[in-house]
Amino acid sequence: MLAISSVVGNIFSNWRLAEKYRRQKAAGRCERLFVSRMELERLRLRRRTDGGTDVGLVLEPGRRLHHGDVLAAARFIVVEQLREKVLSISIKNHDAEKMVGLAALIGHTIGNRHRPIAVDRGTISFPILDKSEVETFRKLLPAGVRLKLKEQVFLPAGEVHTHE
């Protein structure tokens, strides 16, 4: 078992690691450790990479994994977050006064369910556990919003506390 207690860096925030990742991947020397978003929060985790390496993580308190983290430079193991069901909400009406009210109602509805959110270009996204939740949120959310279900890696805005 390869014991890991720290993270080298992240391929999405360190251009040198990003370039090394590109070279290692092209040469077939990069391994991926697939983890769910909820498992990223754990301090201790044991998994096998897609290359078969048995990895045991023991991180210091307060540290968490992120999509794109590099765990071991010698073997170049990259954390790859699993895709999940994500519901995206966009507001149809562009009237500024109505948009503020709709955004507040949407935030209240999602917040009452303790879901993490991501906001990008006028779209609010959050993870759902099952496709059946789409209809529930359609009933709970105000008129004038569009819902779209996607399967993707969900990256929340900032550090979050959830009850999923």
Q: Map out the domains of the chain with their CATH numbers.
A: 2-81 (2.60.260.20), 84-152 (3.30.70.790)
Q: How far is CA 70 from the centre of its chain?
A: 16
pLDDT one digit per residue (tens) for the chain, 164 residues? 889 988 999 999 999 999 999 999 999 999 999 999 999 989 999 999 999 999 999 998 888 899 999 997 667 899 999 999 999 998 766 667 777 777 888 889 898 888 999 988 778 999 999 999 999 999 998 877 889 999 999 998 865 444 44
DSSP-assigned letters across all residues of 78-138:
EEEEPPEEEEEEEES---HHHHHHHHHHHHHHHHTTT---EEETTEEEEE-SSTTHHHHHH
| DSSP-derived secondary structure letter, 142 | P
Measured distance CA(61)–CA(119) in Å, rounded: 28
| DSSP-derived secondary structure letter, 155 | -
Determine the 3-state secondary structure of 21 from DSSP. Answer: helix
Helix and strand numbers, DSSP H then E, in the chain: 3, 11
